[in-house]
């Protein structure tokens, strides 16, 4: 029994993307803020991510969010995001899931009506508004990192696909934004395998030499995401919707249209003069799930004009569980995991 450890998890999903919230069982991480804790975990304790996103414990299409102590006095909790691609600094769907799990589990007291909840992500503060009806979290509107267009009009030769044009946009991570129709995609459910294959080939071709630096966060790693943009439909004055699909490298098409993908799309539309503050864009994933993005005010990140946005979605509970980790199990890589787990 002294070789067994226990983690407490809350499994949720937002728009079909599953987030596993680790609420206990991990020793405190070093670092003066959540960003430093995340970078320590990435360097010294990546076994946790690999364990919970791999068989027999999980699946690469999931995400993991580890609850940690915040450093900022306004934040009620910190969270580190882990995905198949690594450690994104911010994520809309993961923030929606984490805020919902904290409120609906009672870890943070919930108040009927509209409730503000401030969390600390590795990218900084995430300001969220929860709408609570009869004790249930009906929606979360999250405002995270300002998005900005880093480079326009890029192109790369992709084996078997030819020349692919894209724009590079930051919204918590770097996204390559690609116009789906240029490559014959309508972003329907039956195209998901083809989109995955295209995304994998594109990322492998585009990564060498592509920007990795953020003006204030430093080196944020190689390109992790591709956001396929469908045709925009006008619903009314300042109201738009569009099919969308986000590819996470390696090998995952998100079930939701993704919050950061929606913010990146709004930033590009603003740079092109297609949206103004107050306008909304509803993104629709290949599985028909929707997020609502709203353009707020313009800003600046380093030397880049930026756009503040919010994304609104809903998370639902799937499970509240305790899992046992046998450190002698050959399927458990205990080398950079054992010291993280509370005895």
Q: Which residues are the active-site residues? A: 91
Per the DSSP assignment, residues forming a β-bridge with 158 are: 162
| Of residues 254, 259, 252, 260, the one with CA closest to residue 200 | 252
Q: How far is CA 330 from CA 46, 48, 336, in A?
A: 17, 15, 14
- Please give the backbone phi and psi of residue 287, each rounded to the nearest 5 degrees, phi first: -90, 5
Structure tokens at 225: 């995401």
Output b/e per residue, 108-142; b: 16+ Cβ within 10 A.
Answer: bebeeeebebbbbbbbbbbebbbbbeeeebebbbb
Question: How far apart are the C-alpha atoms of 47 and 307, rounded to whole Å?
Answer: 36
Closest among 195, 140, 202 to 175, alpha carbons compared: 202
3-state secondary structure of 81: strand
Place of tokens 């070093």: 30
Report the candidate in 68, 24, 23, 29 with the shortest Cα–Cα distance to residue 46: 29
Two tokens, residue 90: 């911010």
DSSP 191: G
Q: Strand 174-179 to strand 225-229: parallel, antiparallel, or no bridges (unpaired)? A: parallel
* DSSP-derived secondary structure for 117-183: EEEEETTEEEEEEEEEETTEEEEEEEE-SPEEEEEEEEEEEETTTEEEEEEEEESSSEEEEEEGGGG
């Amino acid at each position: 029994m002294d070789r067994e450890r226990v983690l407490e998890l809350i499994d949720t999903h937002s728009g079909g993307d599953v987030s596993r919230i680790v609420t206990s069982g991990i020793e405190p991480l070093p670092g003066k803020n959540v960003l430093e804790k995340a970078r320590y975990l990435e360097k010294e304790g990546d076994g946790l991510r690999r364990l919970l996103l791999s068989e027999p414990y999980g699946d690469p299409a999931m995400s993991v969010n580890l609850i940690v102590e915040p450093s900022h006095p306004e934040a009620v909790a910190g969270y580190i995001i882990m995905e198949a691609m690594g450690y994104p600094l911010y994520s809309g769907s993961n923030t929606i899931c984490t805020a919902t799990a904290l409120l609906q589990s009672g870890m943070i007291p919930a108040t009927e009506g509209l409730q503000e909840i401030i969390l600390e992500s590795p990218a900084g503060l995430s300001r969220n508004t929860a709408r609570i009806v009869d004790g249930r979290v009906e929606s979360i509107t999250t405002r995270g990192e300002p998005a900005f267009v880093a480079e326009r009009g890029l192109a790369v030769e992709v084996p078997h696909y030819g020349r692919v044009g894209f724009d590079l946009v930051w919204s918590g991570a770097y996204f390559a934004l690609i116009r789906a129709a240029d490559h014959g995609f309508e972003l329907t459910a039956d195209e998901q395998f083809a989109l995955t294959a295209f995304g994998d080939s594109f990322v492998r071709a585009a990564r060498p030499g592509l920007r990795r630096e953020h003006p204030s966060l430093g080196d944020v790693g190689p390109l992790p995401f591709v956001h396929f943009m469908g045709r925009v439909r006008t619903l009314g004055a300042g109201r738009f919707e569009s099919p969308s699909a986000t590819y996470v490298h390696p090998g995952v098409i998100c079930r939701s249209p993704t919050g950061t993908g929606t913010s990146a799309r709004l930033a590009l539309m603003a740079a092109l003069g297609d949206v103004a503050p107050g306008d909304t864009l509803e993104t629709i994933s290949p599985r028909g799930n929707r997020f609502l993005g709203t353009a707020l005010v313009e800003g600046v990140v380093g030397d880049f004009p930026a756009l503040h946005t919010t994304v609104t979605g809903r998370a639902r509970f799937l499970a509240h569980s305790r899992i046992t980790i046998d450190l002698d199990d050959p399927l458990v890589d205990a080398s950079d995991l054992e010291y993280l787990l509370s005895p």
